[in-house]
A and B are shown apart, each in its own frame.
Chain A
Amino acid sequence: MINISSISKEYVMGDNKLLALNNVDVSIKEGEFVSIMGSSGSGKSTLMNIIGCLDVPSNGDYFFRENNISKFSSNKLAELRNKDIGFIFQNFNLLPRLNALENVILPLLYSGKSSKERTKLALLALENVGLKDRTHHRPNQLSGGQQQRVSIARAIAGTPKLILADEPTGALDSNTSLEIMKILNDLNKTGITIVLVTHEDDIAKYGSRIIRMKDGKIIEDKKNVPH
């Protein structure tokens, strides 16, 4: 599904050049649950942003489902993010003015679906994360765990092939973290590929494969038997 060959990402900060990714090769198959680990500055977030088509590599090729993403225009990338990829962020990134249902509908607005279909898909997604009775609450009326579930619903509403989770439990207590990880696990079982970025071992262990990064390079890539 994902095929990354020798990509690099360089940031220029004043006179210094920072190599966030240094010749990284990785491929991820459909249905995998990959945890990417590493300390801050290891390049794990940069890698995830490139996988998620939010950022483009300075060098190298990225094939997503046989398409060479490096050649895509910003409009085509936006379309790809809309149709095939779902994002889950550490601090949820919900729009404060919109209620839960409207937040979940947001990606569907950009996909050109009819208003009836959008509402149906969004309600289904909210039901899947157990928030059917919170559809008209605003983010500030929801707990952290509930907000994260809304953002998961937003990520899955458009039935994506790939979900990218950037420290999804970073702002949550351990019980709520377990709930969120269970939801992600269940989603993986339905065939959705999941790429998770974390620095917590407990969280990374949910993955079927764990990649460790350091200084912009992959230093370990091993199979894992999830508990």
Chain B
Amino acid sequence: MSLTDLIYLSQKSLRSNILRSVLTSLGIIIGVSSVITMISIGTGARLEVEQQIERFGSNNLILRAQSSNSRGVSMGNNSVNSLTLKDMEALKNELPAIAAIAPRVSLSTQIIANGNNWLATVTGSTNDYFELGNWKFEIGREFQEDETISGSRVAIIGKTVQKNLFGEDSPIDEVIRINKVPFTVIGLLEAKGGTAWADLDDTIIVPLKTAKQRLVAKKFPGDQIRSMTINVSSSDLLFKTEADIDTVMRKLHKISANGNPDFVIRNYAQFLNARQESSRVMSILLATVAGISLIVGGIGIMNIMLVTVTERTKEIGVCMSVGAKKRDVLLQFLIESLMISLIGGCLGIALGLGVIFGVSEYFNWKMSLDYMSLVLSFVFSSSIGVIFGFYPARKAASLNPIDALRYE
């Protein structure tokens, strides 16, 4: 008996009881959709972490001023910007693990250019800012040394700012007014895309000195800065350096080891690890659900196949009387359970795709469909069908023709 004939007969008997066939495959449906969702969440999380590293640069720590609290009361604005360029020099000198530091001051303000208005975040920093933040130039250039020293009114803008002020036109050599001060655009950054929290391309960078003199003189007087991005030479040193910075900063700011610091150190690696960990937990959870429902689904298939074999005992007898061999009967029932589990597999893939689509659409989770997971689902569900269908099929095949024929 050829495979096509077997498949034809199997689909015939499955179709005679569609509801039962679908209900039987329910366990497989849930199992397979969990497998697909699980793998998508895993790959999605991994990709997101990779993208985050791509965006923010790897091995970076961010040191930021923080209002120190005394007995739960904020000491007010003046104590906020306690971070200075002196701190930066001291850190550079004391900690050889630090490869580079980009200082930063910032304000959110009105930009006017080309007859358009736009609110953007303006950052004052050095050329290190671009390298550490993984920024690339679409057109234009970085700051030149004399511009940095003299505090020239030059600006490098992000993609979102360009779109809102100039549309698709090149912004190079155009004049934009930041807080009424005219600046000449010398560079345009490549787009990075948004994150869940902010549009990174909605940015303007000007030389640190220019910003401090002309834009934030009141907010960051003297050599105060808002934050610094600290690049550590190797990822192995990241956590040690974080601790060292804490020690050095406490010494510089004369804060005891258990006192409230007036600064905070952000470690992106830590954040990304936490994120990866939570999606790993989610994946383990789903893998458990998938495993259990696949096994339960397999048992469901076995159960129904045993019922089917009993129901069709007489039919098996008829087939044997007209010449069906044990092998024919065995294959017939194996293919039936294989088909049930494959139907379950297909429906499960459809359900899984629906879940992936729904979750990524409504919860804004990053999920990525892996074609391997589709292959894996097929392998999973078909092996479940064969494994759990084997016992009932063998039971059918080992029937004695005359007993089967007489069965009522």
Contacts and interface: CB of A to CB of B under 8 A. Distances in A.
A54 B405 contact: yes
Mostly helix, strand, loop or mixed at chain B's interface? helix
Contact of B314 (A87, A93, A110): A93
Interface in B311-329: 314-315, 317-328
Given A75-B325, A79-B323, A110-B322, A54 B315 contact: no
A78 interface: yes
Interface string A66-108: 0000000011001101110001010001110110000000110
Interface in A6-43: none
B12 interface: yes
Contacts of A95: 315, 318
| Residue of A75, A87, A95, A112 most packed against chain B (CB within 10 A) | A95
A149 interface: no
Contacts of B171: none
A89 B328 CA distance: 22
| Residue of B317, B319, B321, B328 most packed against chain A (CB within 10 A) | B321
B405 A78 contact: no
A111 interface: yes
A109 interface: yes
Contacts of B325: 74-75, 78-79, 110
A87 B12 contact: no
Nearest to B314: A93
B323 A83 contact: yes
8 contacts: A49-B402, A54-B401, A54-B402, A74-B326, A78-B326, A89-B405, A106-B319, A112-B1
Interface residues of B, number: 23
A44 interface: no
A75 B401 CA distance: 12
Contact of A93 (B13, B323, B327, B405): B405
A82 B314 CA distance: 18
Nearest to A52: B321
A81 to B, nearest CB: 5
Interface of A: 49, 52, 54-55, 74-75, 78-79, 81-83, 87, 89, 93-95, 97-98, 106-107, 109-112, 154, 158
A82 B318 contact: no
Interface of B: 1, 5, 9, 12-13, 16, 314-315, 317-328, 401-402, 405
A75 B323 contact: no
Contacts of A94: 318
A215 to B, nearest CB: 20
Given A97-B16, A109-B5, A75 B319 contact: no
B290 to A, nearest CB: 34
Contacts of A107: 322-323
A54 B321 contact: yes
Contacts of A81: 320-323
Contacts of B402: 49, 54-55
A94 B319 CA distance: 10
Nearest to A83: B323
A97 B321 contact: no
B323 A78 contact: yes
Nearest to A84: B323
A201 to B, nearest CB: 26
A154 B322 contact: yes
Nearest to B12: A97
